[in-house]
Structure 1
């Protein structure tokens, strides 16, 4: 496993070691001991989530507040997304900064999203399967979000405006300035 820094504190790209042969390929998608050793954080994942989406779907930017904040380890099993995170920790040196990466079923890269970050992704290929681990349980009353098109963030979601499919709740989120 190779762990790369993103430029945002405690946020990492993780690349597995893939073993290929004539039968196909194999890789270890998660190992708690190796993960904690490489990232230097004590994380205990308690919930796994999965979504299947079509091209144009944009989910985010979401986060959980307070005691229900969540760290996530995200990856794509099949298909392709542009994964985006925003540091929303007001005392952080990288507050308001973003990081994006293309995650695919072929590159098998993962992104570790620490607590205190907003997270979202745009789906760039039909039938994309997105999977993630969380270190805290979902709590509806603690959910929050930032508008995907917040002018201060200037995120290029790699989709045309007319392609974007949002949930109704994602159309009413706040800007970063109103957190």
Structure 2
């Protein structure tokens, strides 16, 4: 696991009315501060990758659909520099992923349904000075193969 990344399995409570999950709590101290809550929907097969931040940490949750999430550690002082992690998140695996600043991240929607990501960040987006560095989904430094192999 990339140093500083936190992956948390979520507990889903079910009864005859529906379900309930606590996604993140302030007493878990996952974010050093709260900046913004955002949501985005992507269609099946879409790849949104890669980007990273210098000042912002992210906390990701997929309440709808399923996604393959890929992280790549670009932090020069990290003991896991150059490591890649893959996580499967969404309805079939309710979970929360903390992504520290300096770790490139992206995802691919799995299955035949759209996926929705809800994410919190430690900084609000600033259009005049965005804290986003974009990399192509097929960046040669990362070298990740997004193709699904059937056995």
User: Which TM class, normalised by the smaller chain length?
Assistant: 0.7 to 0.9
* Structure 2 Cα separation of the partners of residues 158 and 146 of structure 1: 18
Q: Which runs of 5+ in 2 are unaligned?
A: none
Give the number of equivalent residue pairs: 146
Partner of 1:171: none
Partner of 2:34: 45
* Structure 2 Cα separation of the partners of residues 114 and 143 of structure 1: 13
Query: In terms of mean alpha carbon deviation, does 74-83 or 102-111 score higher?
Result: 102-111
Let me know the Cα RMSD of the aligned residues. 1.9
CA displacement 1:89-130 (0-9 Å, x = unmatched): 111111111111111123211111011111111111332111
The alignment's TM-score, normalised by the length of structure 2, stands at: 0.86
Q: Does 1:110 align with 2:99?
A: no
* Structure 2 Cα separation of the partners of residues 92 and 107 of structure 1: 28
* Structure 1 Cα separation of the partners of residues 116 and 107 of structure 2: 12
* Structure 2 Cα separation of the partners of residues 139 and 158 of structure 1: 34
Which one has a larger percent strand, Structure 1 or Structure 2? 2
The alignment's TM-score, normalised by the length of structure 1, stands at: 0.74
> Quick one: which of 138, 156, 162 aligns to 2:125?
138
Partner of 1:27: 21
Q: RCO greater where, 1 or 2, for CA within 8 Å and sep 6 or more?
A: 2
* Structure 2 Cα separation of the partners of residues 70 and 156 of structure 1: 27
Partner of 1:170: none
